[in-house]
Structure 1
Amino acid sequence: MKPELARALIASQFPQWRGLPLERIGAHGTVNAVFRLGEHLTARFPMREQDLAAEAAAARELLGATRFATPAPVAMGSPALGFPHPWAVQTWLPGTMTSENSHADNQALAYDLSEFIRGVRALDTRGRPFRGHGRGGHLPDHDGWMETCFRESETLLDVPVLRKLWAGFRELPRESPDVMTHGDLIPGNLLSSGDHLVGVLDVGGLGPADPALDLIGAWHLFDQPARDVFRAQVGAGDLTWERGRAWAFEQVMGLIWHYHETNPLMARLGRSTLHRITTAD
């Protein structure tokens, strides 16, 4: 999305912000075009249809539930000027976006991330079920998607080996009921200050799911020593830990081929996480 269109939409619908500086951030994003608006706001323009009202409700539910900053909804924009989707303004969160290598050996961030996950799990599901799509339900439900990933990855990866890995992952039984999860703890959604986690972005996926789902963050971020610390702090038994590895595998198998040419940062994340998954003790 061009900054000129973002600026025009903001000026026409929220004239009080028309004079604020506007800067595109997170160019590696795959779901939203995100702009920093002044010192304290962020404007998010979806690249495809999204339920922004539900995302705002999720953001309000998580706000203040942990000591880590999360975005607060501020305003909702409407489709206009050729932009086809509703769009949102949220609070800006300070911090530096993590990467697959930025905290690989950092046990302090491993402690912090485990604390965030425990805080999210402490939220009440209020009887809500898993929404029935995406990661976090039943692993075998993703067989079709994984078959697509294997087919598309034949020139990029050792697919026969990875098929065998999935064959084992998909059989892992579920031992625990749904808990509240963030749902997408990838490095691009985690903000740090030095060694510590200070904020978490993209909270619209908050909801009940497999407790193993948020463990994907450990595979995206940490090498073995820090990952061991994270596991101990989050309290993951053998089966839950292995299911977390399986959910991370399901995610990265899509990142590598899908973004191979269009988004090198996401493809690189996929390869890094896949290496951790396939070389873990």
Structure 2
Amino acid sequence: MMLLPAIVLVVIFSYVPMAGIVMAFQKYVPNKGLFGSPFIGWRNFRLLMDYPDIGRIFFNTIYIAVMKIVAGLFVPITIAILLNELRREWVKRTFQTLVYLPHFMSWVLLSGILVDVLSPTSGVVNQLLGYFGAKPIFFLGSNDWFPYAMVISDVWKEFGFGTIVYLAALTGINPSLYEAAEIDGAGRLKQTFHVTLPGMMPIIVLMLTLNIGNVLNAGFEQIFNLYSPPVYESADIIDTFVYRMGVQQAQFGFATAVGLLKSIVSFLFISFSYFLAYRLANYRIF
């Protein structure tokens, strides 16, 4: 009985909409519906393979997603280790709360803040660069800078949540290991490399393998709120491409085919990541 509401919600919002997959094999006409639109077989998928920019779109998606995964792993681990070294508990808790706050903000709100902060004329970042004699950089309008701006802003928003996960892992390390290392002459840095990191390794491996399933999710909400036509070359990802094709250009069948292909590849990555999590970190869903 406790599970029933959740099961009903999953069926309504996750399984019932899967009937729309049939549009990937149709020339979908809204007024004819799913059962009245003509079937065209694999034509939408052939159009997808022949689309001139599809290779670039897949590359952008994987490139941005991989950078987010790597940076989103390195930064929280580093911050968690540094916080663990703080001896004043109130300082640790205050900093932990401050870095965790952006996690609760939506990208709609944060995008407005980032547009102002990264503005080439009045933005704080470019004003700071100007003090050092650097020329203004149009972070959100340059194909060279846009992907890195997305990665850095995403890490800034989410690293507080990851820090909590790794701080929890640090509490599971036996303090006697640090005492033994100190007796053997190890300083704080050597203790970090020989005690702290090995003790965190199971959760690090687990988080890394689970993130493999997100390699085709580069962050639709973030990029959609921050990109513009001048940076489509480096910013256009699968999800934004599906949005433009399906919603803006009303090519429903073609957009569904793209989304279906992405879902199939993502399913394979997720299955592989859970297999690795089981083999490397003994993590099981059931």
RCO higher in 1 or 2 (8 Å CA, sep ≥ 6)? 2
Q: TM-score, normalised by structure 1?
A: 0.21
Larger strand percent: 1
Larger helix percent: 2
Q: Which has the larger radius of gyration?
A: 2
Q: TM-score, normalised by structure 2?
A: 0.21
